[in-house]
Structure 1
């Protein structure tokens, strides 16, 4: 079954905003700015993964992601074009992701493929994730990722 297209100009704007939200999360994670990335969650937002206990509330999400990325020298997450269905002030979205990382402890490179299954809510600050569920597809040890990690500069984009 195909996901329906936006029916109104407002729904099309909402799809763009939610797609931007997913990209903002991935971009901040790729710079190692976990607290900034988690601003994409609602204050009572939830993160669910198969390898962690549910994190309920933005502070718990920050703590969970920080703890689980502490041994990573870098993370580079690419969010792919997702599908979004808007229903008033809520929306459902699915965003495939590719993530590359390397552990500090043993230099092991990691490649992860998965999908975020999201419920989003419109807040006074714009769209935010009410619930993100990470659905893994595969994890592997790629042959590459042996080069030096280069610090990413903060974005020079206007606010």
Structure 2
């Protein structure tokens, strides 16, 4: 493999990880599922979740996201080791979320990934989520799309 091919593969894999976060943030369950190989696996051991195949990943993602009042995930690049048409890597994740039941979470985690080159480009063969830090303190913030925040202009009205 030439150095240029290696660079292209790395960029495509990093774009795959970014696409995963975008699909999660945009509630695009179908697109998220299509980022995996047909028999791909998504594991979240701390939540006892194992989803195998695109349909389980799509349905499981939808079910999980229906539990959230709001959710924000950011992905930070990690390492990638290429081996022909396969690769392994890590992506570092930070998340904040409030569940509809009122519970809140701030997570720092790692996705341990296996990638597979397919006719449609690089896909996740397996993605396993490892929480490294968890804070369950109630979040003070809110989703501004769902509620109007008090501002200096309207916070004193009615007093």
- TM-score by length of structure 2 reads 0.82
Gaps of 5+ in 1: 1-5, 152-159
Q: Residue 99 of structure 1 aligns with which residue?
A: 95
2:37 paired with 1:42: yes
Aligned to 1:114: 109
CA distance in 2, matches of 1:95, 1:148: 26
**Corresponding residue pairs, total:** 145
Structure 2: state its 5+ residue gaps: 147-159
Q: Is the 8 A contact 2:113 2:124 kept in 1?
A: yes
Q: Which residue does 1:70 correspond to in 2?
A: 66
Q: Tell me how far apart the structure 1 counterparts of residues 34 and 70 of structure 2 sit (CA, whole Å).
A: 20
Bigger shift: 11-20 or 72-81? 72-81
Q: How does 1:8-157 map to 2 (within 5 A)?
A: 8-50=3-45, 51-106=47-102, 108-142=103-137, 144-150=139-145
Cα shift at 1:39: 1.7
Indicate conservation of the 8 Å contact 1:109/1:145, yes or no. Answer: no
Contact 1:102 1:109 in 2 (8 A): yes
Q: TM-score, normalised by structure 1?
A: 0.82
What is the alpha-carbon distance in structure 2 between the residues aligned to residue 109 and residue 149 of structure 1? 17
Preserved CA contact (<8 Å) 2:93 2:110: yes
Q: Is the 8 A contact 1:74 1:149 kept in 2?
A: no
81-90 vs 63-72, which moves further = 63-72
Three-state SS of the structure 2 residue aligned to 1:18 is: helix
